[in-house]
Amino acid sequence: MKIIMLGAPGAGKGTQAKMIAKEYGVPHVSTGDIFRANIKNGTELGMEAKKYMDQGLLVPDELTVRILLDRVAQEDCKRGYVLDGFPRTIPQAEVLEQALTELGDQIDYAIDVDVPDENIIKRMSGRRACLTCGATYHIEHIPPRQEGICDTCGSPLVLRDDDKPETVKNRLDVYHKQTQPLIDFYAKKGVLRTVDGTKPMEEVFGAIRAILA
């Protein structure tokens, strides 16, 4: 099973990707997570990616494609995977398609988690993160027990730079210009499925489960 998750930043595709991975026993492959792990470990790749990520811009295709193809060539991806945050541009999608075609393989579904921009901005400006232990909260949906303090480690919670309204607007612009064309790309290939991402998490997952059944 090879699945691509599509959707704007903050649409909840990461949460759904993790739920799919757990239920169907395939790895969750997130290019954003791979970049963040590299930043944390201070690698050269991490330093390069950070320059773009901090501004809400996309990391160049060449770099991104290389790390993704390396990742999906690993043993645990043999039975399939859920891609979260890749592809984000048409050239990335074309490279992936070519790599799969060479293996006589293809993507089964591209699932678009659809959420209007207004909802995204509201959701992201309510997010709070603990920079010490990595826990995340939402002032309305997942509030900490004590306002502004992490339940897990007691550190102060912050609004991350990439969740600030200006950066969110940038990321949405980038999404509309560079990533949204993928919806058409996969629709033409007959593998696009759309779910309503404004619904509660479990309901969205129910819709995805029905698609994959």
- Say how far apart CA 110 and CA 63 lie, in whole Å: 23
Q: Taking the C-alpha atoms of 193, 196, 201 and 203 in order, what is their torsion angle to the nearest 10 degrees?
A: -80
Q: Is 6 or 192 the residue whose CB approaches ligand AMP more closely?
A: 6
Q: Which of 31, 93, 123, 208 binds ligand AMP (CB under 6 A)?
A: 31
Q: How many residues bind ligand AMP (CB under 6 A)?
A: 18
Are 168 and 159 a contacting pair, CB within 8 Å? no
Catalytic residue among 160, 164, 169, 199: 160
Q: Which of 86, 74, 76, 53 is nearest to 161 (CA)?
A: 53
Q: Kindly give the residue spans of alpha helices, DSSP state H, lying in the chain.
A: 13-24, 31-40, 44-53, 61-72, 90-102, 117-125, 165-174, 181-188, 201-212
CB of 24 to ligand AMP, least distance (A): 20
The answer to the question of residue 167 lying near ligand AMP (CB under 6 A) is no
Q: Which of 5, 17, 29, 58 binds ligand AMP (CB under 6 A)?
A: 58
The answer to the question of residue 88 lying near ligand AMP (CB under 6 A) is yes
Sheet holding 109-114: strands in order across?
28-30, 81-84, 2-6, 109-114, 192-196
Q: Which of 5, 11, 59, 204 binds ligand AMP (CB under 6 A)?
A: 59
Q: Is 24 or 52 the residue whose CB approaches ligand AMP more closely?
A: 52
User: So which residues are the catalytic ones?
Assistant: 13, 88, 127, 160, 171
Please report, as ranges, the residues that interact with ligand AMP according to CB under 6 A.
9, 30-32, 35, 52-53, 56-59, 64, 85-88, 92, 171
